[in-house]
Every structure is written in structure tokens, then in C-alpha cells.
Amino acid sequence: MKNFLSYLKPHRFLLIISFLFCFISVAFSLIIPIFIGKAIDEMIGPNQVDFANIYPILLWILIFLTLSAVFSYFYEWIAAKLTQSVVKKLRDDAFYHLEYSSVVFIDTHAHGDLVSRIVSDIEQISNGLLEGFKQLYKGVITILITLIFMFFVNYILAFVVILITPLSLFVASYISKRNHRFFTKQAKIQGEIGAYVLEMIENQKIVKGLTYENQAIAQFKQQNQELYQVGCDAQFSSSLTNPSTRFVNNLVYTAVGIIGMLLMLQNASFIPLLTIGGLSSFLTYANQYTKPFNEISGVVTELQTALSSLKRVQELLHVQKEVDDGNQMIHHPIETIHFDHIYFSYDPNRPLIHDFHFTVKKGQKIAIVGPTGCGKTTMINLLMRFYDVNHGGIFINNQNIIQIPKADLRKSFGMVLQDTWIFHGTVFENVAYGKTNATKEEVIEACKKVHAHSFISRLPKGYDTIISATSGLSTGEKQLLTIARMMLRQPEIIILDEATSNIDTRTEKKINDAFDQMMQGKTIFVIAHRLSTIQSADQILVMKDGNIIEKGTHQQLLKQNGFYKKLYLSQFEHQELI
């Protein structure tokens, strides 16, 4: 909560102004019952109405009503502006922390839950804050000013009200604690359900392909049942708020009415005079005094939900930025990349990479092959510093990459992954994503080289056509756009993770020809599953269980009659060895 209050600091002036306007609005509103009481006293008895005194009173009532409404309008406007300003900054910071968090953090958290924190939880904070400013803030001021006016009218009745007040506070406090516990658990389960639904939607083809719909529905129902139970408990606990506070409010109102009538019957000199108009004013204040407790107890429920959401958002805000202790810029051009006896594991109890030792020279094409889980993609993660090695080091031009700022390091790389990423935007924006200052001509040239220009030209608006992941482009067409995106950057080091696996054979050959032309003089890493794509590699590293078990050219490895040859034969049993 302390960290959250720091978001209010830049808006101190607005806070003070809103407090002042709210105070003035409530004060003008609460002074009216005194004038109404005076008007009643001027009308007591038959034919005793003093219109000469009543008209000025009515005029003052009208003035106070108008002023209260004007200041209330400005207060409401400031409260809304203040709330949205704070929420905007909170959402900006949450997304900033998410973008600069480590890949480790992203990999170890459900994506749907992270989305829920930035969207749903912050929206809940917005609702809670707005209600807090509009009701809690105003309610507290109303209670304080009402007490002042009650003492002004009759201090004995004011003390009666104060004596009963702790009961209101106890009831509100007890219920709010129960609500906080239930709503915290409810927010947690809502995040889990959001993550599960997103996971199912993203992988719907696999779910249907495995006919897993019934099991998925059963799992969802189980989670939804848990949310139902917690939701019932939370809503029931919340529903007790108003009846409980109303009971206390009615108790206060009744006590004031009875004791007030008794005071009017007394003639003792030490008892302050209480007229019918005065009692009427005090009853209005007693009712007004208890109302905020009722409203505040309802707001507290909303605040409990907001605080539960705030806790989840703050967990995201407390995530440390990706460690980046590099302070030496990379030396260009990149001549060598040296993997020096690397050891790495995602889980300390399950070692993955063992003593990986290899040197790559500028212009070489290095292919990494092996069975699933052998560490192929992990080596790329280490090279890009998505993860850092446990022991050993990776050196570029004899410079340890941990000494290089990650942003500078990654600018030297171009990546094309098996899974394509197309965002909602124009074709031009998607291709130029990695080079924001790219010209239209540069984008078109890159697309021509990967043979994407022809299908782009057939789109309704060509390069200005709005596309997205679900816009109807084939998987191959999306991959062509991601390859064009990489080519546009012209990086020194290129990483291809089965980049052409989703493209037909004819297009694949054209792209490989384009690669050969554009990649001259560049260092290339290819993670291969289809061995037909790496036969031209300068070196093929065969990995198994985190170790390099074989290395050499395609022909050299075939002659060794080792693991690589077995992999090759398993894919090309019907073909003659090349």
C-alpha cells in the first residue's frame, strides 16, 4: 500500500483541492437542517406562521443548496480525473515491468494470469479508487461536520450519538475483514481461470485434435465450481454489510428521538433548550450521521476487492527488471563467437548443458541438430542472454557477453522462429517492426527477396492492409513476413529456428536461395529438425543430452556412421545418401 501511495504524490495539489471542495460542498449541505429547524419554529401554533422571518430562511436554504451542488460538481470531476490519472500511470508501469521482466519470469507464469493483472485487476482498482474518493472521502467529511453541527444544536444528544458510534465501527470492521479474506481468494481464482481459458483458446486445434474437449470442460467446471463457492461466500459476507449497518443506524435514530423528547419535557436549567425545530434538525443530523457508515461499509467491500487486485498488480510491479550489468558496447564487426566450457540448467536438479565448447567464425553457417530436449534452443537462449550460463562463458570477439548491454547485444541478432508472430497492424508495420525508420521501398525490397511481394500485392490495400494473427493469412504467408522482417534489419548474426518448416517445398527453395545471397559474410545459426535444410552448413553440431557428441560437415558426419547418420537415415530411408 505504501508503494501505491507514491502514485498519489504527483497529484498532491489535486488532492488538496478535492478535499477543500468536498469539505465546502458537505458543509453547505449540512448547514441546511439548522435553517429548516428555524423555519419549523417559526410555524409552531395555529395562525402563528411568521412569513417575514421564513422568507429569508428559505432564501439562505436556496443559496446553500446551489453552492453545495456547484462545489460537488467540481469535486466529482477532480476525483474522476485524479483516479484515472493514477490508474493510467499504474497500468503504464505494470506493462513496463512486464516488458522489461526476464524471460525466466514470463516462462514461469501463466500468460492469462499476467493479462488479468494488467487488464482486469487494474480496472478493479479503478472502480475501487473512484468509489473510495466519491464515498469514503465524502463520508468521513460528512461524519466530522455532522458531529460539529450536532454539538451546536444539543451537546447532550451529540454525546448519545457518540456513545453508540463504536458499535457502528465494530460492525463495519468485522464485516470488512471477512470480506477482504474472501475477495482476495476470489481474485486469485479468477486469475487462474483466465489463464486456463487463454491456454485452451491458444491451443484449441490441439485440444480438438486430441478430442480433449470433455476433459477440458471438466477441468474448467472444477475451477469454476471453486470460484462459485468462493464467490457465494464473498457475496453473502458482503450482503451482510447493509443490513448490519442499517440496524445500528436505526438504533441511533430511535435513541435520539426518545431522549430528545425527554429533554424537551425537562425544565432543568443545566439542560440546553431544545425546541421542536431543534429536535427536527438533530434527527436529520442523526440520520445524516449514520448514513456514511452505511455507505462506507458498502465502499469498504469495493475497496477490499480493489486491495486484493492491488496486491496482485504490485507483485508484478515488484518483479525485478531483467539483469543487465553490461557496460561495454559490442566490438564490430563480429569476427568470432566462442562458447567456453558452458554449463547450464533450468532446474538445478536437472542439468541440461554439459561442457559445451565450440568456436564460430564470421561467415560460417552452423547447424545444431539432435533429438527433442537435447538443448538446441537453449544454446540460442544463452547466446541471446534470455538466460545466463551457470558456469563458463560466451565470448564475442574475445569479449564476454555479460559485459555487453543486452539491448546492444541483441541488435546484432536477427531471429526467425518456427512460431510466427503477426500483430494487429498493416503489412508494412509488421515487416518494419524491427526497424522503425524503414522506408516503404526498403520494406518492398525485403518482401520481394523472400517472395512475399506477390501475395501482398493481391491483398485489398497491399502493404497498407490491416492484418492480425487471425486475419486469414496462411501459416506460410505469415512466416514469409517474419523472414522479411528479419532480412530488413540486416543483422550480423542470424538465427533460424526451423524457419521454413511451415512453407511449401517450392517456396522454401526460393527462400533458401535468397538466404544464400543475403547471408554472405554473416554468421548463421540454424536449429534444424529437417536435416535436408542443413546439408550446406559449414559445421553441424550433433547434440544429445546437452553434449556435443559429433561435429563436422554433412558428408563428414555421414562417413562417421554415428548418431547423425542414424537421424539422417530415419528421415531419408527411401533416398540414396548424398
pLDDT (tens digit per residue) in 174-190 = 777 777 778 778 878 88
Residue 71 has a pLDDT of 93
The region of weakest confidence among 25-29, 221-225, 252-256, 558-562 is 252-256
The x, y and z cell numbers of residue 415, run together, are 531471429
Tell me the average pLDDT across 38-50.
Answer: 69
The x, y and z cell numbers of residue 336, run together, are 568470432
Residue 219 has a pLDDT of 86
pLDDT (tens digit per residue) in 117-126 = 888 888 888 8
Percentage of residues in the chain with pLDDT exceeding 70?
Answer: 89
Residue 68 has a pLDDT of 92
If you average pLDDT over every residue of the chain, what do you get?
Answer: 82
Residue 338 has a pLDDT of 94
Residue 129 banded pLDDT, cuts 50, 70, 90? confident
**Which distant-in-sequence residues (6+ apart) come within 8 Å of 301 by Cβ?**
176, 179, 183, 238, 241
Tell me the average pLDDT across 245-253.
Answer: 75
572: pLDDT strictly greater than 80 = no
Higher pLDDT, 544 or 250: 544
Residue 478 banded pLDDT, cuts 50, 70, 90? confident
Please, what sign has the CA dihedral across residues 272, 275, 276, 281?
A: negative
pLDDT (tens digit per residue) in 390-441 = 999 999 999 999 999 988 898 888 888 877 888 888 999 999 987 878 999 9
Dist CA 557 CA 559 (whole Å): 5
* Residues β-bridged to residue 415: 495
User: Phi and psi (nearest 5°) for 400?
Assistant: -60, 130
Estimate to the nearest angstrom the gap between the alpha carbon of 166 and the chain centroid: 40
Distances, alpha carbon 81 to alpha carbons 11, 23, 94, 134, 214, in Å: 10, 18, 20, 12, 47
Maximum average pLDDT range among 59-73, 315-329, 368-382: 59-73
**Which distant-in-sequence residues (6+ apart) come within 8 Å of 213 by Cβ?**
207
Residue 107 has a pLDDT of 81
Residue 501 has a pLDDT of 66
270: pLDDT strictly greater than 70 = no
Tell me the average pLDDT across 542-554.
Answer: 88
Sequence letter at residue 199: E
Q: Residue 460 class from Cβ within 10 Å (0-12 exposed, 13-18 middle, 19+ buried)? A: exposed
pLDDT (tens digit per residue) in 521-540 = 889 999 877 777 788 889 99
Sequence letter at residue 410: R
The x, y and z cell numbers of residue 575, run together, are 533416398
Distances, alpha carbon 345 to alpha carbons 422, 527, 546, in Å: 31, 19, 9
45: pLDDT strictly greater than 70 = no
Higher pLDDT, 434 or 75: 75
Residue 134 banded pLDDT, cuts 50, 70, 90? confident
46: pLDDT strictly greater than 60 = no
Residue 439 has a pLDDT of 92
Cα-based angle 52, 57, 58 (whole degrees, multiple of 5): 100
The x, y and z cell numbers of residue 84, run together, are 484515472
DSSP for 429-466 reads HHHGGG-TT--HHHHHHHHHHTT-HHHHHTSTTGGG-E
- Residue 332: CB atoms within 10 Å: 10
Dist CA 2 CA 7 (whole Å): 10
Dist CA 386 CA 13 (whole Å): 43
**Which distant-in-sequence residues (6+ apart) come within 8 Å of 424 by Cβ?**
466, 467, 468
The x, y and z cell numbers of residue 86, run together, are 493514477
Tell me the average pLDDT across 498-518.
Answer: 68
The region of weakest confidence among 41-50, 102-111, 184-193 is 41-50
Residue 577 has a pLDDT of 46
* Domain 2-317 falls under CATH 3.40.190.10: no
pLDDT (tens digit per residue) in 79-92 = 888 888 888 898 89
Residue 271 banded pLDDT, cuts 50, 70, 90? low
Tell me the average pLDDT across 332-347.
Answer: 91
The region of weakest confidence among 219-228, 267-276, 385-394 is 267-276
Tell me the average pLDDT across 226-242.
Answer: 81
**Which distant-in-sequence residues (6+ apart) come within 8 Å of 572 by Cβ?**
531, 532
Residue 233 banded pLDDT, cuts 50, 70, 90? confident
In terms of pTM, does the model score above 0.75? no
578: pLDDT strictly greater than 50 = no
381: pLDDT strictly greater than 80 = yes
Closest alpha carbon to 416 in 316, 498, 517, 297: 498
Dist CA 364 CA 477 (whole Å): 28
Residue 453 banded pLDDT, cuts 50, 70, 90? very high
Residue 130 has a pLDDT of 66
Tell me the average pLDDT across 354-371.
Answer: 90
Residue 49 banded pLDDT, cuts 50, 70, 90? low
Higher pLDDT, 129 or 255: 255
Domain ranges of the chain: 2-317
Residue 552 has a pLDDT of 92
102: pLDDT strictly greater than 90 = no
Look-up of cell digits 511451415: 502
Higher pLDDT, 516 or 147: 147
3-state secondary structure 470-523: CCCCCHHHHHHHHHHHHHHHCCCEEEEECCCCCCCHHHHHHHHHHHHHHCCCCE
Residue 111 has a pLDDT of 78
Using an 8 Å Cβ cutoff, are 193 and 223 in contact? yes
365: pLDDT strictly greater than 50 = yes
Q: Residue 121 class from Cβ within 10 Å (0-12 exposed, 13-18 middle, 19+ buried)? A: buried
- CA dihedral of residues 279, 284, 289, 295 (deg, nearest 10): 160
Using an 8 Å Cβ cutoff, are 152 and 121 in contact? no
